[in-house]
Amino acid sequence: MPSPWFNVPALYCRVHLSASHRSREETMPAIHGYTTHDVTLSAVGTFQLVAAHGDRPYFRNEKVTLRVQARIFNELEFQGGGGETIRRGGRSTFGGVTQPSDVNLELTTDEKHEAYLRMGSMGPFTLKHRIDVWDTSPPKPAQGHVNEEFNVDAMLSLTLPKTPGQVRLDAFEKSLIGSPFSCCDSRCEVRLSGLLRLTPDVPVFHLADDTLDQNPIPHCRVRVLCPDGATREFESDEAGDIFIPRASTKDVYTLLEVLDDRAPQSAAIPGTWTVDTVPDRV
pLDDT in tens, 245-272: 776 767 788 888 887 766 554 455 555 5
Encode pLDDT of 84-98 as tens digits: 899 999 999 999 999
Whether residue 139 is preceded by a cis peptide bond, meaning omega within 30 degrees of 0, is yes
Contact 168, 160 (CB under 8 A): no
Q: Tell me what the mean pLDDT of segment 110-123 comes to.
A: 88
Longest dimension (CA), the chain: 75
Residue of 90, 183, 93 whose CA lies nearest to 134: 90
Q: Is the pLDDT of residue 279 over 80?
A: no
Encode pLDDT of 22-71 as tens digits: 999 998 998 889 999 999 999 999 899 999 998 899 999 999 999 999 99
Q: Is the pLDDT of residue 4 over 60?
A: yes
Q: List, in sequence order, every beta strand (DSSP E) within 31-100.
A: 33-51, 58-64, 67-79, 85-97
Q: Tell me what the mean pLDDT of segment 122-138 comes to.
A: 95
pLDDT at 249: 67
Higher pLDDT, 124 or 276: 124
Q: Tell me what the mean pLDDT of segment 118-138 comes to.
A: 95
DSSP 176: B
Encode pLDDT of 170-210 as tens digits: 888 888 988 999 998 877 889 998 889 887 667 788 888 77
The CA–CA distances, whole Å, from 190 to 40, 81, 102, 173 equal 10, 38, 21, 8
Encode pLDDT of 154-172 as tens digits: 999 999 998 888 898 988 8
pLDDT at 171: 87
Count, residues in the chain: 282
pLDDT at 98: 96
Give this prediction's pTM: 0.78
**pLDDT category of residue 232 using cuts at 50, 70 and 90:** confident
Q: Is the pLDDT of residue 147 over 90?
A: yes
pLDDT at 212: 67
